[in-house]
Amino acid sequence: MARYADPGTVEWVESGGGPLIVVPEAVLPFWAGADGEDLATDYDRACEVDGYVGLLPVGDSAALVLGDEPASTSFLPDHGTFVRWSAAGSEDELLAGVPAALDAAVWQNEVSWQVPGPVVLFDSAWPGTATERTEHLRVPLEPGRYTVRAAHAQPGPETWLGLVQLSRLPD
């Protein structure tokens, strides 16, 4: 897990070059990543997602693919948002721009995602059973249906970031 500032500030997950994925913990064993004997692996399916976000079936649930670019990504619970680091001089600069980015974002790719509980963010090339051996971030989401929307924003002249915001819908 990458850290760019003081310990405990924000934990970032990086990719080896492909998309990052957010898989419900309950179905982690069903995500095979780049492993497998099928012609199209789970990783291949993740790479085919067009746009900032998309959903892929995994077990009896769905995983959220963070598409577009393999940017370092973290989750900011206060904003209910995955923040994707496209460009910034420092982590502090990037994080300081998040509120302005959320206010100015032009949201796209809205999807509805049913989540059975906590989820794990990691590189989609890895099998779900290997997340403990690689960079990952556990996000303790409450079970329920979420609206997921995505955007890119430029809150400053040298600061660009991607946003993937989750909003829990009422039961």
Q: Over the stretch 84-123, which tens digit does the pLDDT of each residue have?
A: 999 999 999 999 999 999 999 999 879 999 999 999 999 9
Asked if residue 15 is part of any domain, the answer here is: no
- Work out the number of other CB atoms within 10 angstroms of the CB of residue 114: 13
Task: For residue 65, give its domain range.
Answer: 20-168
pLDDT in tens, 54-75: 999 999 999 999 988 889 999 9
Asked if residue 134 is part of any domain, the answer here is: yes
pLDDT in tens, 3-59: 445 555 789 999 988 899 999 999 999 999 998 776 789 999 999 998 899 999 999
How much is the average pLDDT of 131-152?
95
Q: Please give the model's pTM, rounded to 2 decimal places.
A: 0.92
Asked if residue 1 is part of any domain, the answer here is: no
Asked if residue 49 is part of any domain, the answer here is: yes
Residue 4 has a pLDDT of 47
pLDDT of residue 169 exceeding 90, the answer is yes
The full length of the chain comes to 171
Residue 38 has a pLDDT of 67
Asked if residue 2 is part of any domain, the answer here is: no
Longest Cα–Cα distance in the chain:
46
Asked if residue 149 is part of any domain, the answer here is: yes
DSSP 3-state assignment of 30? Answer: helix
Asked if residue 34 is part of any domain, the answer here is: yes
Q: In what order do the strands lie in the sheet with 61-66?
A: 53-58, 61-66, 20-24, 119-123, 136-139
Quote the number of domains for the chain: 1
Residue 109 has a pLDDT of 75
DSSP 130: G
Asked if residue 13 is part of any domain, the answer here is: no
Provide the β-strand partners of residue 115: 144
